[in-house]
Structure 1
Amino acid sequence: MGELLHRHGQTYAAEAHIRLKDTPQPLYRTLVLAHLLSARIRASVAVSTSRALNDAGLRNPRRMTAATWQQRVDALGRGGYRRYDERTATQLGEGGQILIDHWGGDLRRMRQQADGDADELRRLLRELPGIGPLGTDIFLREVQDLWPEFGPFIDSKALQGAERLGLPQRPSELVRLAGETPNAELASALVRAALDKEVVTDCLSRVA
């Protein structure tokens, strides 16, 4: 566990240069990242595309909806997100408008409405185009240390990584083994093991 966390415990938000805190802009950028990561595309491409959207100034719902569809397509393309760029550009525009209309562009209001009910938060998140069950899992994984009422959140993909590494399948036991490591870093490390066999090989070779 120690090698896994030390070498692969970076969250995807951190990799995308999102300084995650409980304020509207980083939460929105993390939601967009979750949207991008939930497609059948390499995680590295989703991360680079998150950075490209930020560089284009599309870092909050109002800027996202104010941009033209073509501007969104172009930013997605610069990040390498070409296979899904047109559909995703539409979804990001529509989703940004829904966030503005229903929650004033502030995901903290959605959290407040969910009132600690993870299923309700999932339902609210899925009202946004392009955010399905996988997207909600990714978002909850990333924000769980900010929103502790929804954690520890060790989803099925993270448990798949734990299985590959020969680690326990109970989230509570994984959290115990991780010690003081933030739960989001633990979950991200396990997901990286699920997605990349080289992570598993690297970790197992170091404890052999």
Structure 2
Amino acid sequence: MPQDSLISGLLRRYGETYSSELGLDLPGNIPAHLFRWLCACLLMSAPISARLAMRATRALADKGWTTPAKLALSHWADRKSVLTAAGYARFDEKTATLLGELAEKIMADYDGDLRALREKAHRDPLTERKLLKEFKGIGDVGADIFCREAQVVWKELYPFTDDRTYAAARSLGLPEDVTYLSALVEPEEFPDFLTALIRADMAGETAASLGQSNQATKDE
């Protein structure tokens, strides 16, 4: 199967980033959107489905906790209640604490603006990752998720891939090589492509099924 057909099928069926699905404009480099994305990364780091993590992220926004200042002023019991109602019950107590601490640290260390973290790191990817991991609840997995999509605006991160992406690429017969993978699409499409790989892998897609789906779409 031609590789172009595989890439087209991936992007057509699964090429929406999680941040975009949440209505976040990461390319706009908007502080509130970067903050909400970091909260989403914390929630998605837990051994829980992406669907439930996304639901919990939306629930926080529905309560108006869309900035570090607003979330920092919220009560632990209220955060726990919102997480529980969103289906995050197994981790609600710990995560309610972590979210509050995350918001407070951003206020204390970066005046409520994650872009200041980038400048403190002098736009060095390794330092940015180190600073991200200083937030309790953001480990290697959370930092990977953040960088995977933030590279569309924090250009120094590009091209960024991670173990989860490589596993998804391997399942579709693509090389586990960042230089190779990043050359398959335009730089601004790379986060979409990486998310498409992961979504397709979770859906159990194969290279053949994606190529056939793409061809069927062209024939319609």
Q: Normalising TM by the smaller chain, what interval? A: over 0.9
Q: Distance in 2 between matches of 1:72 and 1:127?
A: 22
Q: Does residue 92 of the first structure (1) align with residue 99 of the second (2)?
A: yes
Query: Among the aligned pairs, what percent are the same residue?
Result: 37
Matched with 2:9 is 3
Q: Which has the higher contact order (CA 8 A, sep 6+)?
A: 2
Aligned residues: 208
Q: Deviations over 1:39-83 (max 9, x none)?
A: 100001111111111001111111111000011112212321111
Unaligned runs of 5+ in 2: 1-6, 216-220
- The letter of the residue matching 1:189 is A
Q: Distance in 2 between matches of 1:120 and 1:127?
A: 11
Q: Does residue 43 of the first structure (1) align with residue 54 of the second (2)?
A: no
Q: Distance in 1 between matches of 2:190 and 2:180?
A: 12
Q: Distance in 1 between matches of 2:83 and 2:144?
A: 22
Q: Does residue 18 of the first structure (1) align with residue 24 of the second (2)?
A: yes
Are residues 199 and 43 of structure 1, via their aligned partners in 2, closer, same or farther at CA, if it must alter by over 3 Å?
farther
Q: Deviations over 1:95-134 (max 9, x none)?
A: 1111110110110000011112212111111111100000
Q: How does 1:1-208 map to 2 (within 5 A)?
A: 1-20=7-26, 21-179=28-186, 182-198=189-205, 202-203=209-210, 205-206=212-213
Query: Offset at 1:195?
Result: 3.1
Q: Distance in 2 between matches of 1:202 and 1:59?
A: 39
RMSD across aligned positions (CA): 1.8
Contact 1:9-1:188 within 8 A present in 2 as well: yes
TM-score (norm 2): 0.88
Q: Distance in 2 between matches of 1:133 and 1:142?
A: 15
Structure 1 segments of 4+ aligned residues over 6 angstroms from their partners: none
